[in-house]
Amino acid sequence: MKVLTTMMLAGVVCVTLSVGAMPVKQGEQPNILMISVDDLNDWVGVYGGYPQCKTPHMDRFAEKAMVFRNASCPGSVCGPSRSALLSGFMPSTTGVYNNRQNMLDSVLVQRNATLPE
């Protein structure tokens, strides 16, 4: 399949699931779905769950996908992490260190294409 889909729900990369665990033949593009969720913690069933949080669709999807269990984020708050994910540059490079700053104000981000672009 030649589909590349990116779905972004907020900023901090807490869960990243990617389909494509099967080998890809040379010349083919893998089918990848990246899900980035803010403040999800370990509430999804595949990560141990939380008694009041039901995630049957995510759990079923995770059974067929590659699940990353040791993720980290570039910043301690949403803004810098979201900026890093969308721009590809660390907060120390863009200068975005808190939620009041906009990554679009960074000269580096203005000169380079972001993920949505």
Q: pLDDT tens across 39-68, in order?
A: 667 778 888 888 888 889 989 988 988 888
The Cβ of residue 40 has, within 10 Å, a number of other Cβ atoms equal to 19
pTM of the complete model: 0.57
DSSP 41-105: TT-SGGGT-BTTB--HHHHHHHHHSEE--S---SSSSHHHHHHHHHHS--HHHH---STTS-GGG
Q: How far apart are CA 64 and CA 109, in angstroms?
A: 35
* Domain assignments of the chain as residue spans, ordered by start: 1-70, 73-117
Q: How do 4-9 and 32-37 pair as beta strands?
A: parallel
Predicted pLDDT at 22: 57
Which tokens is 32 given? Answer: 């990848």
